Structure 1
Amino acid sequence: MQPDTKKGSCCSPSRSAGADTPLAAPIATGGKRIPDDAVHIPGGRSFTGTSRPEIPDDGEDPVRNTRVKPFRIGATTVTNAQFAAFISETGYVTEAERFGWSFVFWMQVPEGLGPTLGVKDVEWWRRVDGANWRDINGPGTMDAVWKPDHPVVQMSWNDAQAYAKWAGGRLPTEAEWEHAARGGLGDVRFPWGDREPDDADFQPCNIWQGDFPKTNSAKDGFVTTAPARHYEPNGYGLYNVVGNVWEWTADAYRIKSLKKHVRQRLATMKGYKLSKGGSFLCHVSYCYRYRIAARSGTSPDSTTTHQGFRVVWPE
């Protein structure tokens, strides 16, 4: 029996259902640290959502017309090297480090670690003590896993906010993110158009190939993250907008719905923040959320091996 695409989720488990966690220390804004490859995104009339929803209960539709001001956005998500520079200058301690543990996908849990706790209904997510942005999969894994040009992961929304403030920028709104992700195209599903990635001969982004969560053929060349600058960029020059890692936005996770079961679900998600783009764990058979209009909500203190972010700067 195939999992239900409408309900299935490989998205980030939540560490808590509470409100924002205070930052470990105030982060001073030190002027705009805009990367040389930051992309100019023209403003004007735009839209959020889609007229062709796949998971309506996530709030993918209807299309909402909007207007965005011009802005700059990172061509890639923030990399390990960029985040390391932030840590070096500020001494910031991430939330995974302060909590002392984080979530790791079951295939990446180090051998010999011993029993780990899973998350109810998504048991492939395991609590691993000592997992953080350096030791991504747990203690002693940095040398084997951490790569400077890959997206920084194990990022909470609060961590992303702290970095963005230090860089003189902020997280994108959902409208800005979708506007940039479409690369000048219209109501398309993906940054390159509407052609669906598959497990055989078309892999334009880093997602799962095979039988989730059991078997990943890695047909696209990656079992976990790909370099932040990989695959063909979209029409605006942005890399890995979908797939690879989920990207935090500035927005709260909200859905306008009259459905009772949706409202009941949202009642358990107060304070959650919106992520966009999907990750290397998404697949059409289960978590079809690597589409531009797809959405996911997670508590702001939650961290996983597939959660990152990119920064925007007003013009």
Structure 2
Amino acid sequence: MAASKWSLLCGMALAGGLAGCTADVVPSSSIASCTDLAATCGPKKDEICCANSLVTGGEYERLELDQNKSYRATVSDFRLDRFEVTVGRFRRFLSEYPGNMPVAGDGAHPNIENSGWYDSWPLPQDQAELHASVECNPDYQTWTDEPGDGEHKPINCVNWYVAFAFCAWDGGRLPTEAEWTYAAARGSEETNYPWGSAALDQDHAVYCPNYSEVDQGCPTATRADIADVGSRSPAGDGKWGQTDLAGNVREWTLDFHDVYPDDCVDCANLTNVIGGREARGGDWNNDAASLSSYQRIGYDPTAKMSWVGFRCARRPR
């Protein structure tokens, strides 16, 4: 079914009160993590957890705060998951592992050479190792050995390589930093937040309003502070319908963390630098400043952190 036709039918269904239908989302067998998974995501718990929508490409300025300088980037059309990858979706990935490990070239950006999987990259060798890899701080990790009330929380404690492998298995890829920022800044509108210019508050995003430099986070932080995906929708949604692009968990992107490349089209920084891989969007245990669509930070790609998760990008249909 063509995307435009599905969008029309879905709009009609929504008007009629049908649950589990998200405009501009095409059900697809290529989205492995949601095969036979009930539509239980979003603020009303009635949306497809693998919902994704078309981000219409264009040009925008990437602001480099440290340099007080901007760089023009052009991105082509792409689809981006509405929600951060949930514990429930990741559980599907783990259940099929290691039979679903990527091979060379998987998960590549269609317009960027050498952006796919490299066989030399490290991954857990079996299901037990993958299970252990998503355990970090027991007070904050969202993974549980048995399904419980955290199935709709974003999976955290996932390193960059595992996130890449998941997206490749799920019929997608990690978004480039340029794509992620474009979606978070509302494209050429270049706003500070995904929802626009409205002031940041807890109705729009999941973050720490009483952040403490002494504690390096919320003084009373618990796992409960990590919200179910889409909990701030629709107030916190981006221009193309993505939730939690600001707050909840930071999100891995394809790029290495470095100064922006010169003006470019469908670009990504694939040169290994000391800054690690880029993670964007701010998180549940950080302050308001971290949620700006212009804030950048890199982490060791082998690190697993309770404040970092991911979402997948996909080919336009």
Give the TM-score normalised by the residue count of structure 2: 0.63
Does the 8 Å CA contact 2:134/2:156 hold for their aligned counterparts? Answer: no
Residue 247 of structure 1 and its aligned partner are, at CA, apart by 0.1
Deviations 1:97-151 (A, max 9, x none): 567796539xx37xxxxxxxxxxxxxxxxxxxxxx6634xxxxxx5798611111
Deviates more, 1:269-278 or 1:165-174: 269-278
Higher strand share: 1
2:60 pairs with 39, 46, 59, which one?
A: 46
Residues 227-242 of structure 1 mapped to structure 2, 5 A cutoff:
227-231=228-232, 232=234, 233-242=237-246
Residues 106-145 of structure 1 mapped to structure 2, 5 A cutoff:
108=139, 134-135=143-144
Does the 8 Å CA contact 2:226/2:284 hold for their aligned counterparts? Answer: yes
Q: Provide the residue aligned with 2:204 in structure 1.
A: 204
1:65 partnered with 2:75:
no
RMSD: 3.4
62 and 229 in structure 1: CA distance in 2 versus 1, 3 angstrom threshold? same
Does the 8 Å CA contact 1:178/1:292 hold for their aligned counterparts? Answer: yes
1:194 pairs with 190, 194, 197, which one?
A: 197
Residue 40 of structure 1 and its aligned partner are, at CA, apart by 0.6
215 and 66 in structure 1: CA distance in 2 versus 1, 3 angstrom threshold? closer
Q: Provide the residue aligned with 1:305 in structure 2.
A: 306
The separation in 2 between residues aligned to 1:87 and 1:144, in whole angstroms, is 13
For residue 205 of structure 1, what is the amino acid of its counterpart?
Answer: A
1:225 partnered with 2:226:
yes
The separation in 2 between residues aligned to 1:281 and 1:223, in whole angstroms, is 11
Deviations 1:31-62 (A, max 9, x none): 83276521111112233226xx3xx2xx6x42
Residue 65 of structure 1 and its aligned partner are, at CA, apart by 1.0
1:79 partnered with 2:86:
yes
1:104 pairs with 127, 137, 153, which one?
A: 137
Residue 272 of structure 1 and its aligned partner are, at CA, apart by 0.8
Q: Provide the residue aligned with 1:248 in structure 2.
A: 252
For residue 134 of structure 1, what is the amino acid of its counterpart?
Answer: W
2:31 pairs with 6, 30, 33, which one?
A: 33
SS of the residue corresponding to residue 158 of structure 1 reads: helix
SS of the residue corresponding to residue 190 of structure 2 reads: coil
For residue 67 of structure 1, what is the amino acid of its counterpart?
Answer: T
The separation in 2 between residues aligned to 1:271 and 1:188, in whole angstroms, is 26
Does the 8 Å CA contact 2:218/2:286 hold for their aligned counterparts? Answer: no
256 and 292 in structure 1: CA distance in 2 versus 1, 3 angstrom threshold? closer
Residue 311 of structure 1 and its aligned partner are, at CA, apart by 0.4
Q: 4+ residue stretches of structure 1 with deviation over 3 A?
A: 91-103, 142-146, 214-218
Residue 222 of structure 1 and its aligned partner are, at CA, apart by 8.2
The separation in 2 between residues aligned to 1:222 and 1:133, in whole angstroms, is 7
For residue 180 of structure 1, what is the amino acid of its counterpart?
Answer: A
69 and 207 in structure 1: CA distance in 2 versus 1, 3 angstrom threshold? same
Deviations 1:47-92 (A, max 9, x none): 3226xx3xx2xx6x42211111111110011111111111112247
The separation in 1 between residues aligned to 2:157 and 2:124, in whole angstroms, is 9
Residue 183 of structure 1 and its aligned partner are, at CA, apart by 3.2
| Overall identity of the aligned pairs, in % | 23
1:159 partnered with 2:162:
yes
SS of the residue corresponding to residue 67 of structure 1 reads: strand
SS of the residue corresponding to residue 275 of structure 1 reads: strand
Does the 8 Å CA contact 1:223/1:280 hold for their aligned counterparts? Answer: no
Does the 8 Å CA contact 1:269/1:299 hold for their aligned counterparts? Answer: no
210 and 145 in structure 1: CA distance in 2 versus 1, 3 angstrom threshold? farther
Does the 8 Å CA contact 1:102/1:154 hold for their aligned counterparts? Answer: yes
The separation in 2 between residues aligned to 1:100 and 1:43, in whole angstroms, is 35
Residue 276 of structure 1 and its aligned partner are, at CA, apart by 0.4
Residue 216 of structure 1 and its aligned partner are, at CA, apart by 5.0
1:281 partnered with 2:285:
yes
For residue 287 of structure 2, what is the amino acid of its counterpart?
Answer: H
Q: Provide the residue aligned with 2:315 in structure 1.
A: 314
For residue 166 of structure 2, what is the amino acid of its counterpart?
Answer: Y
Does the 8 Å CA contact 2:206/2:247 hold for their aligned counterparts? Answer: yes
